[in-house]
Amino acid sequence: MNRLIMRIWLLLAIAFVLNACSSTAPSVKRDKTMANRTITQPRTAPAQKFYRSATYPTVKRDKNMAYRTSIQPRTATSQNFYRSATYPAIKRDKTMAYRTNTQTRMAPPQNFYRSATRPTIMRDKTMAYRSITQPQTVPPQNFYRSATYSGSFQKPGELEPAVEFWRKTYTVWRRSEVAFHDNRYLDVIYEVMVLPGYVDESLTSEQKEMVSQRRDFWKAQLSILENKLRYSVTLNANDRQMIAKLESSGRQLNSVLNGAAARVRSQRGIRESFIHGLEVSRRYDRQFRKIFRDAGLPEDLAYLPHVESSFQPAARSSAGAVGMWQFTKGAAKTFMPSGGRVDRRLDPFASAIGAARYLSFAYSKLGDWPTAITSYNHGINGMKRAQDQVGRDFVRIVETYDSPAFGFASRNYYAQFLAACEIANNPMQYFPYEVQYESP
């Protein structure tokens, strides 16, 4: 009986032990966030969001990046992680094809190119088209305003571009070279074309046609540019080069480009003719200077034939002027009367006396040498009308006086004379060892 009871207690003990072992054995559970099964703790109260508090990094795609680097545990993560980071960010800007890497994205510069030195395109309310302006620095408004003197004659600063143009015409450009320029703004030179082959003092019909075609080309180019700017059409490299020429002296583009196509003019160089005039002038210079000195006039008026005829005694113009001093018949009757049949206009010394009388009378009527000398081309009455209309300021007359007879030759006559005086007073500077003077 006792043995039976002991066996029963033994079986109960064994059953108890087996039951205890089965309650602590681990179980295997598949987790949706894992590729394989992990061993968990006893199944009593398992963690519902096991990996949300784990320390493993997660990968998150960001709209501003192709990928995003690993971040720390997702508990209480920063919502704008990269806004305060020091990694460069790439951002497309409407004013750029692309934008370079910037530093932290806080407070980027709003006007990136406003302070750069590149030209910007700006619409001006006073213009019908857009112009390309230089960096917004104030250009010199009175660039040529300081006046100087060429001998006894005042050279207003505003005439310096014209004087420089005629210096080039007399000393740089040869007769085979043709400059295409603006006939109002003489420092705007579009091109200097070299005519092929032999070029005489007079052009052949074929050479004249070449010059005419090239002049028409520049007229067309300027018309196209004006239309492009008016309708905001994209400019090419040639357009920008032309704009640079137009703005070369600091003028506003709209003031130069407006009507520029109609102002295209061609000018042949006369370097060879001017050198020859210097060589011939030595024969007459001493006597001419005495004539003007005796008349109480500036002696440098003896250089006027450089402008009129290049010191050719038999020169004739299309207007009927004859001789070295280019007197018309009417002017000759007034200032160099002669009872004989001989045309005294062909006599250089008699013509010089007549020129002295004329210029003395013109100065007494007009009051200044720039206007009096210009009257040698435009007439005393013509220059008097100009003074009555716009005043006695000679620069204002040149820039604003509007008359059909007051054309390119009259506007530029005084500037031509000043250039001729400067060169004739210092020929070695412009023609070193090239002038072979004739004997007096």
H or E element that contains 25: none
DSSP reduced 3-state for 208? helix
Structural tokens at position 376: 């040698």
> What pLDDT is recorded for position 272?
96
The DSSP letter of residue 44 is: S
- Tens of pLDDT, residue by residue over 52-89, are 444 444 444 444 444 443 444 444 444 443 344 443 44
- Partners of 268 in the β-ladder: 178
Q: Is the pLDDT of residue 33 over 70?
A: no
- Cα dihedral 315/318/319/322 (nearest 10): 10
Asked if residues 64 and 89 have their Cβ atoms less than 8 Å apart, the reply is yes
Q: Is the pLDDT of residue 177 over 70?
A: yes
Q: Which residue type occupies 426?
A: N
Q: Is the pLDDT of residue 282 over 90?
A: yes
Q: How far, in whole angstroms, is CA 17 from its chain's centroid?
A: 104
Asked if residues 373 and 414 have their Cβ atoms less than 8 Å apart, the reply is yes
Residues 394-400: contacts with CB within 8 Å, 24+ apart? 394/156, 394/368, 394/370, 395/156, 395/158, 395/159, 397/371, 398/158, 398/159, 399/158
Asked if residues 105 and 93 have their Cβ atoms less than 8 Å apart, the reply is no
What is d(CA 225, CA 432) in angstroms, rounded to the nearest whole number?
42
- Partners of 178 in the β-ladder: 193, 268
Q: How far, in whole angstroms, is CA 167 from its chain's centroid?
A: 22
List the single range of 61-70, 171-180, 182-191, 400-409 with lowest mean pLDDT: 61-70
- Tens of pLDDT, residue by residue over 239-279, are 999 999 898 878 899 999 999 999 999 999 999 999 999 99
Structural tokens at position 215: 């002049």
Q: How far, in whole angstroms, is CA 212 from its chain's centroid?
A: 26
- SS3 of 317-348: CCCCCECCCCECHHHHHHHCCCCCCCCHHHCH
Domain locations along the chain: 174-268, 283-429
Question: If you count DSSP H runs as helices and E runs as strands, how many of each does the chain have, helices first?
Answer: 15, 9
Residue among 420, 423, 368 nearest 398 (CA): 368
> What pLDDT is recorded for position 181?
97
* pTM for this model (two decimals): 0.68
When the pLDDT of each residue in the chain is averaged and rounded to a whole number, the result is: 79
∠ Cα 158 166 163 (to 5°): 20
What does CATH list as the number for 283-429? 1.10.530.10
- Tens of pLDDT, residue by residue over 135-163, are 333 343 444 457 777 677 999 999 999 99
List the single range of 27-41, 174-188, 193-207, 397-411 with lowest mean pLDDT: 27-41
